[in-house]
Homo-oligomer: A and B are copies of this chain.
Amino acid sequence: MDKPVIGFIGTGVMGKGMIRNLIKGGYSVNIYNRTKEKALDLVDDGARWFDTISSCTQASDVVVTMVGYPKDVKDVYFKDGILNHAKKGSYVIDMTTSSPALAEDIYNDASSRGIHALDAPVSGGDIGAQKGTLSIMIGGEKSAFDKLKPIFEAMGENIVYQGKAGSGQHTKMCNQITIASNMMGVCEALAYAKRAGLNEEQVLKSITSGAAGSWSLSNLAPRMLEGDFKPGFYVKHFIKDMTIALETAKEMGLMTPGLESAKKLYEELAENGEENSGTQVLYKSYL
């Protein structure tokens, strides 16, 4: 199968970058989005608009979904019928960060219809989506992954097959779990520095390059100090991810005190109107 026609459901800030890279990679891309107006610039770029998920699916060999919440994933696959309308032998890939259990449900339902399903959440944010440098973590059948690898390579750089259905989502949960606690550490250190009357920028010079170093410390701590809480990654989406991670951890009998504390702090921030801020707003919890 070379150059299959791709249907892409969900043309948000992430989807847009990914679709443009697919077009750049020579793929024909069919698109659908809940709000049509937000997708029209992609038509100028060469994508083909469809008015329904079912028609978009029927016209495609590979359907990619990049929507918001697990509920949206459920809707587009089951209620709105991707699985009802996908061609036998075709492929569906959910790239939304969503629940591992739901990824398994989709896989099982798809398999029973002769459809190949992969879960393939990403990290790297809107900039990674634009530049095609995403990290993509894939679960599902290895043979399906092998066939679709060129598609992933058109959208990302660090493409890793993680195992059976749900493993991509589980891996993304590992990513978010790591970030959750680290964000507390970064914020607690900066808040401590402030209370102690230190010059926080000088403190960062001492601690960023050593054993305390992290992506968040290098990239988000400076924004915290500047009072720049614009979203790179939204609080509301991080809460969604942490909720899935925490529920899944509990189901597996795993205690995660760091994740639990971080989730609580973020939920308090969301209650205080910060759900559309970037995750670096956690700093405010400590001020």
A residues adjacent to B (C-beta < 8 A):
100, 123-125, 135, 137, 158, 160-163, 166-167, 170-171, 173-182, 184-186, 188-193, 195-199, 202-203, 205-207, 209-217, 219, 233, 245, 248-249, 252-259, 261-262, 265, 286
Contacts and interface: CB of A to CB of B under 8 A. Distances in A.
Of the candidates A125, A195, A248, the one having the most CB atoms from chain B within 10 angstroms of its own CB is A195
Contacts of A179: 185, 211-212
A131 to B, nearest CB: 13
Nearest to A217: B178
Given A163-B198, A180-B185, A210 B175 contact: yes
A264 to B, nearest CB: 8
A163 B197 contact: yes
Contacts of A162: 198-199, 202-203, 206
Nearest to A124: B210
Given A163-B197, A175-B207, A182-B214, 19 more contacts: A124-B211, A163-B202, A167-B196, A167-B198, A170-B192, A173-B196, A174-B189, A174-B192, A178-B188, A178-B189, A178-B214, A181-B188, A184-B257, A188-B259, A192-B249, A192-B256, A196-B248, A212-B215, A254-B286
Nearest to A232: B211
A181 B252 contact: no
A260 to B, nearest CB: 9
Contacts of A181: 181-182, 184-185, 188, 258
Contacts of A253: 195
Nearest to A209: B158
Nearest to A136: B206
Chain B CB within 10 Å, residue with most, of A177, A207, A211: A211
Instruction: Give the residue among A166, A196, A261 with the most B Cβ atoms within 10 A.
Output: A196
9 contacts: A161-B202, A171-B193, A171-B202, A174-B190, A174-B203, A175-B207, A177-B192, A196-B252, A258-B262
